[in-house]
Structure 1
Amino acid sequence: MYTSYFKIGWRNLVRNKGYSLINIGGLALGMAVAMLISLWIYDELAFNKYHQHYDRIARVMRNLNMNGETLTTTILPSALGDELRTKYGNQFEQVVMAALGGDHILSTLSEDGPGGETKLSLHGEFVETAGPEMFTLNMLQGSRSGLNDPHSILISQSAAKALFGNDNPMGKLLKIDHSDRMDVKVTGVYEDLPYNTDFNEMKFYAPFELAVSANAWMQQPTFTNDFLNIYVTLGDHTSFEAASDQIKDAILNNVREDKNYVSVHPQLALHPMKDWHLRSEWKNGVVAGGHIQTVWLFGIVGAFVLLLACINFMNLSTARSEKRAKEVGIRKAIGSVRAQLVNQFFSESFLVVGLAFVIAVAAVWTSLNWFNDLASKQMEMPWTNAYFWLSSFAFILFTGLLAGSYPAFYLSSFNAVRVLKGSLRVGRLASIPRKVLVVTQFTVSVTLIIGTIIVYQQIQFAKDRPIGYSRDGLLMIQMTAPEFHGQYDVLLTELKNTGAVLDMAESSSPPTDIWSQNGGFNWNGKDPAFTPQWATLTVTPEYGKTMGWQFVSGRDFSRDIASDSAGFVINEAAAKVLGFENPVGETIQWSGGWRSKFNRFTVIGVIKDMVMKSPYAPSVPSVFFLSKYGTNWINLRINPQISAGTALPKIEAVFKKLIPSAPFDYKFADQEYALKFAAEERVGKLASVFAVLAILISCLGLFGLASFVAEQRTKEIGIRKVVGASVFSLWKMLSRDFVVLVVVSCFIAIPLAYYFLDAWLKKYEYRTDISGWVFVVTSLAALVITLLTVSYQAVKAALMNPVKSLRSE
């Protein structure tokens, strides 16, 4: 019986090739989009699940109450790890301290000493010995206990290949950051961590004890020396909430005598690993959301795009109901019951959905690499995953029922006598469901288009924001080896002599980030209860010239003025906090100025805000001061008269000559700044792709409906032509109903889009306004697309010879 159902269904598809292509193609497109979004969502929800105990691992966070606002940070004091182990050990199975996460130079050594064969800058971290076990590294050689030796190192498979080629890396010697105190032996090789984990960039793990022994400033554990991260594995008998409540005052109980620290009321909280990626935003000391909103957004988009494709199927099936009315009447007349007709139409629906699913899977498979590049992912087709096939079966079942339900029950309800008498008249009300579905389609499509435009507007708004310095030709080099220090004057002279470099300066933070924030600032008229936290950057005198500072008042640092060693250059944000009409010449006391022997500084200049953190957030109040110590970055301004391709080899030659132990590893400031927009740009690109596909699916359905309407009104058009109707008037008649539906869609979509986009923009402190022209342009574009889609069939019908259109069957 079901075989005959499918045979009849297949014959109907072949007989009506145009409608079949629209139906199957539209459904396949919608299903492909839904599959891609589902794979993306699955990858997002699976973040960090690589780690075996990810649901019990947490990062310790610290909340500081700063002037009525809560600042949440991951950087913790060095004494806290032992405090958690000794006094709160019943809450945790493991407590692991980690420090100095970032890029480090690894160079190969021979058994007899430095070999110099390979020098690479690799991302890694110094962790306590329990770290590899906590993160459940998949060891290919050696074991997770490989860090028990304080002069050992675990490296990733790709790092082993890069450093030693095809040689066995086990037992090989390495030096970290060219430090004589950091000679290590490879005691293990682990599988590269997957892309969807927060530790995916970690190419090596070295012992925390090694970092402490090599850095004197880390050797005195206190509750005010902040430089490390702490990870914990929760005990089976407790919860994250209970453990957070237990440890919240662990720092405060040890700093009661430090009034400045007590005033910010430090409290601890646990951030579960399962929330690191999707719920990473903190507000007022608690998790306030994050990337999970984007996941929900695209999940809804995927569901709606699939719904659009199903709407096409329902619309075209019901629109062609009169074509099959006689078939239904004859079947009922010879004894078919309604259930059999329902099964017939559901069989046809599942046939279409099955064919569409096969095409959709093929489309997803072939486009996955492109989608990975677009979404910055490394997803693969889960061919061997049983859940994939089970969900696919459920997917086909659900879509087949959704797409086929209305036509099945609608067509099977026709009265056999009325159909065979030819008295069946569906009437004007029969078209209402189709009109509602068309309005739904274009409401979704127009909303997506408006959303895409606003996302790009927000990105462009932030990109056009004045950043207070020039990024063009600005090169940044991290000082990752001891040999960098003490070479400033020689480097400056040698680089300028090449003609490739205009200016050079050192700083404690790169121009595109802030590595240090401190409190302890006081000045005349400050409220004693006010405890500001400002960005603090040590620089060399040429920094302002190299950056291209824009002065509001005062002057830059000068090598020729000795008193500048006790001077501050501040940004506009800091000047506003000070509250002086002209802060130049005012004195600021700074008890936190550990990098300088001075604690009283004079403001010598005020500059326009440098955007160093998020381009969507207000500028951080910042102070710049001179010091020979604490610099971590070299900043170079390339001569604009020389191309980067010509300048870089000259610059590299100088560094290899003066600092031969370190690889020439550089970054362009404009490229690093561009990365700050990466997340929003990915959302914008994905949204634009889905918006285009949504409008394409809607237009496919519109094209099919227009074709049907033109076919249905063939005789009417012929009669109108005979009595003198023009092609234009016929085109207008056939297009009017569709234009009205799209106009109604726009009126629904505009307030809907405004509501959601206004809420989305509110999460950015520096944001664009929603302009009215966006809605006008989008609505006009929807109307133009509609007219273009409908006009082909309308004009074709209007140009038809009335002799043919009026000919009897």
Structure 2
Amino acid sequence: MISNYLKIAFRNLAKHKGYSFLNMAGLSVGMAVALLIGLWLWDELSYNRYHDNYDRIGQVKQHLNNNGEIQTWSTTPYPLAEELRKNYGSDFKHVVLGREDGDHILTYGNNKFTKRGMFFEPAVTEMLSLKMLKGSRSGLTEPASVLLSASTAQALFGEDEPMNKIIRLDNRLDVKVTGIYEDLPRNSTFHELTFMAPWQLYYNTNDWVRTAPDPWRPNAFHIYAQLAENSDFDKVSVKIKDAKLNRVSAELAKKKPVIFLHPMSRWHLYSDFKNGINTGGKIQYVWLFGIIGAFVLLLACINFMNLSTARSEKRAKEVGIRKAIGSVRSQLIYQFFAESILVVLFSLVLALLWTVALLPAFNEVADKDVRILWEEPLFWGICLGVSLLTGLVAGSYPAFYLSSFNPIKTLKGTFKVGRLAAIPRKTLVVVQFTVSVTLIIGTIMVFRQIQFARNRPIGYQSNGLVAVPLVTGDIQRHFDAVKHDLLQTGTIVSMAQASSPPTEIWSSSSTFDWQGKDPNLSVDFPVMVVSHDYGKTIGWNLKAGRDFSTAFGTDTSALILNETAVRFMGLKHPVGETIQWWQQPYRIIGVVSDLVIQSPYEQVKPTIFSLGQDATFAVLKINPAKSAGEAMINIEAVFKKHNPSQPFEYRFTDQEFAQKFGNEERIGKLASFFAILAVFISCLGIFGLASFMAEQRTKEIGIRKVLGASVPSLWRLLSMDFVVLVLISCVLSAPIAWYLLHGWLQTYTYRTDLSWWVFIAAGSGALLITLLTVSFQAIKAATINPVRSLKSE
């Protein structure tokens, strides 16, 4: 019986090739979208699952009262790790201290590479369940050792044996390779860590850590913990909440630090905190794209339903004959479901081909490394399960509708579907375009928000600004000579040093005091240490006072504040005022416009600039008369002359700033991609409906032409129904889009508004696309010779 259903279904599909093509094209595109989104969701939801102890690992974080709000920090003081082991050891299997210290230079022979790594306590290898290719997980027990990822070992040693080789770290430390571990996957938080070195090595070689007057003050370290078998994240967090508060000074106790564990399962998708409350994070995009995928697949199902029921009159006699010779309704239902499932299975094959073709471009846009899970039984189970469900959903309405026809009426030729039969089809078209227009509005608003933040004044000139990391200290020691050589070549117009690149700020201080400050107020201000000419190099805008100058020897105890810091401190006339920093007096010599250094979507924080030599970056302003390519060749030559041991790397500030919009841009590109496909699927459906409608009204059109109707009037007649449906969709989509986008925009402090023209533009675009789609069939029908359409009469 089943084989008979499938044979008849196949014959029907082969007989009506155009109808079958439209159905399979729409369904395959919808299923391809669902596949791509499903693979993306799999990657997001499986983040960090590479690590065997995924559900038992957490990061130690802290809530702090700063600047009148509760801030959440991922960094902690390093003595906290020992405190947790000593007083709460029964709750943990491992407590691992780590220090992420930016990029480092790895050297072996003539091979030199800048790589990112971390200094960890030895238990990290067991906690993260590293897959060791050479050596063992105990490799970090030696103080002067290093573990390398497989790709880093390949880059350094090629085909040579890496084990027990001595490599140089930052041109000052010799370390022995004691293990090679499998590269961590892209969907691991630790993916970028290409080497791991012992924490003890970092401690032994950094005086600022060993000699810190109060080791509980610098919050510059990461602590990761693996729970004991019978422990629970929430219960342990309650236990350890005062672990820091009980040990810090009275001054730091004003911050009311609360220690807690953030589970690894929430690191990626639930990383946002506001006023001490976890407000979500990327999970909103998981929900967003999951819903989009479901709706796009639903649009494809709607096409199937509409095209099937639109052909109801053509299949009425078939149903009548089947019923007359004894077929019961259930058999007809099974027959129509068989056709539906067969179409879906063919569409699945096409969808897989679409997915294979689109995956490279999708990965590039999404910044992912997802792949089709050909060898996963679960993947095939989900594909077949979703296909079966899609077939049942898409075929349900046609099956129950077509099987309900009265056999006597259909065989007499008196059966007519009637005007009311079109209402479900029209309703489904409205649903289709409501979803499509909502997606279009959302896409426009994402890019509008990005452009709004891009157009925000950033307070400095980023064009032609280059930041060069200083890893080894050689450039700092020869800074004046480097600057002189570059100025002599005419490559640059200015050069300075800074403790971070212009687009980031890596340190802060809570030891500021000023006249009128609330004694109970705990503060934490971002601080950037810069050299003379930094302001001139980046082109910041002085609002009051002056810049740092070599003409004033007292500038070593001077500060420049941004406008937000001045407002926060309540200083009416800041220039000349004295504030205390580390209980030492510093004089304010200038005020600059707010610089957008951190998130372009958030309010600028009160920031302070001090003069010093604590530089980790050289900042250069390229001569506008020089091309960027020529300038970088000259700059590299000078840097290599004075520091041949360091690979030359650089960052263009405008490009670094542009990367701050990367996440939103990816979301916008993905949303636009899916919106285009949603509109395409909707248009396929309308195209099919328009063709059937034109076919049904062939004789009516012929009579109207004989009576003098013009082609434009016939075009208007055939198009008006669809125009009305799309207008209804626009009206319905507006409040839905407004509600969703208003909530999304509230997550940004610095945000654009929901302008009325966005809704008009999206609706007008949908209407234009609809008219273009329908017009082909409408004009074709309107230009048919009436003699041909009426000759059977």
Match of 2:528 in 1: 537
* 1:751-770 to 2 correspondences below 5 Å: 751-770=735-754
Match of 1:309 in 2: 300
Match of 2:231 in 1: 238
Distance 1:802 1:509 in 2: 78
Is the Cα contact below 8 Å between 1:78 and 1:218 reproduced in 2? no
- SS of 1:393's equivalent? helix
| Seq. identity, % | 54
Q: Does 1:344 align with 2:344?
A: no
* 1:695-734 to 2 correspondences below 5 Å: 695-734=679-718
Q: Does 1:743 align with 2:736?
A: no
Q: What amino acid is aligned across from residue 15 of structure 1 in structure 2?
A: K
Distance 1:644 1:66 in 2: 42
- The superposition leaves residues 331-380 of structure 1 with CA deviations (integer Å, 9 ceiling, x where unpaired) of 10011111111111011101110110110011111221111111111111
Report deviation, 1:582.
2.8
- The superposition leaves residues 649-682 of structure 1 with CA deviations (integer Å, 9 ceiling, x where unpaired) of 2111111111122111211111111111110000
Is the Cα contact below 8 Å between 1:63 and 1:73 reproduced in 2? yes
CA separation of 1:102 and 1:86: change in aligned 2, threshold 3 A:
same
Match for 1:624 among 604, 609, 619? 609
Match of 2:97 in 1: 97
- SS of 1:62's equivalent? strand
Match of 1:675 in 2: 659
Match of 1:429 in 2: 420
Report deviation, 1:18.
1.5
Is the Cα contact below 8 Å between 2:461 and 2:538 reproduced in 1? yes
Q: Does 1:176 align with 2:169?
A: yes
Match of 1:166 in 2: 159
* 1:449-460 to 2 correspondences below 5 Å: 449-460=440-451
Distance 2:660 2:138 in 1: 37
Distance 1:3 1:625 in 2: 82
Between stretches 677-686 and 280-289, larger displacement belongs to 280-289
Q: Does 1:147 align with 2:131?
A: no
Report deviation, 1:579.
1.9
Match of 2:538 in 1: 547
Is the Cα contact below 8 Å between 2:312 and 2:417 reproduced in 1? no
Q: Does 1:588 align with 2:579?
A: yes
Is the Cα contact below 8 Å between 2:295 and 2:435 reproduced in 1? yes
Distance 2:198 2:66 in 1: 35
Distance 2:585 2:579 in 1: 6
Q: Does 1:265 align with 2:256?
A: yes
Match of 1:596 in 2: none
Is the Cα contact below 8 Å between 1:326 and 1:420 reproduced in 2? yes
- The superposition leaves residues 715-737 of structure 1 with CA deviations (integer Å, 9 ceiling, x where unpaired) of 11111111111111111111111
Is the Cα contact below 8 Å between 2:22 and 2:688 reproduced in 1? yes
Q: What amino acid is aligned across from residue 247 of structure 1 in structure 2?
A: I
- The superposition leaves residues 189-222 of structure 1 with CA deviations (integer Å, 9 ceiling, x where unpaired) of 1111110011111110001101111111222572
Distance 1:46 1:91 in 2: 26
Is the Cα contact below 8 Å between 1:571 and 1:622 reproduced in 2? yes
* 1:323-472 to 2 correspondences below 5 Å: 323-472=314-463
Distance 2:604 2:274 in 1: 18
Match of 2:783 in 1: 799
- SS of 1:254's equivalent? coil
Match of 2:216 in 1: 223
- SS of 1:399's equivalent? helix
- The superposition leaves residues 371-425 of structure 1 with CA deviations (integer Å, 9 ceiling, x where unpaired) of 1111111111111101011111111110010000000010000010111112212
Match of 1:294 in 2: 285
Q: What amino acid is aligned across from residue 200 of structure 2 in structure 1?
A: E
Report deviation, 1:310.
0.2
- SS of 1:76's equivalent? coil
Q: What amino acid is aligned across from residue 477 of structure 1 in structure 2?
A: V
Cα root mean square deviation, aligned:
1.2
TM-score (norm: length of structure 2): 0.98
Distance 2:224 2:669 in 1: 35
Report deviation, 1:798.
0.7
Q: Does 1:782 align with 2:773?
A: no
CA separation of 1:367 and 1:402: change in aligned 2, threshold 3 A:
same
Is the Cα contact below 8 Å between 1:375 and 1:686 reproduced in 2? yes
Q: Any unmatched runs of 5+ in structure 2?
A: none
Report deviation, 1:284.
2.4
Match for 2:504 among 510, 513, 520? 513
- SS of 1:600's equivalent? strand
Match of 1:610 in 2: 595
Is the Cα contact below 8 Å between 2:144 and 2:201 reproduced in 1? yes
- The superposition leaves residues 586-632 of structure 1 with CA deviations (integer Å, 9 ceiling, x where unpaired) of 1111227xxxxxx211111111111110000011111111113x221
- SS of 2:72's equivalent? strand
Report deviation, 1:67.
4.5
Between stretches 365-374 and 614-623, larger displacement belongs to 365-374
Q: Does 1:210 align with 2:194?
A: no
Is the Cα contact below 8 Å between 1:177 and 1:482 reproduced in 2? no
Report deviation, 1:532.
2.5
Is the Cα contact below 8 Å between 1:521 and 1:531 reproduced in 2? no
Is the Cα contact below 8 Å between 1:491 and 1:654 reproduced in 2? yes
Is the Cα contact below 8 Å between 1:178 and 1:482 reproduced in 2? no
Q: Does 1:10 align with 2:3?
A: no
Match of 2:474 in 1: 483
- The count of corresponding residues between Structure 1 and Structure 2 is 791
Distance 2:473 2:25 in 1: 63
Q: Any unmatched runs of 5+ in structure 1?
A: 109-114, 593-598
Match of 1:70 in 2: 70
- SS of 2:660's equivalent? helix
Report deviation, 1:528.
2.2
Is the Cα contact below 8 Å between 2:496 and 2:530 reproduced in 1? yes
Is the Cα contact below 8 Å between 2:68 and 2:521 reproduced in 1? no
Between stretches 11-20 and 770-779, larger displacement belongs to 11-20
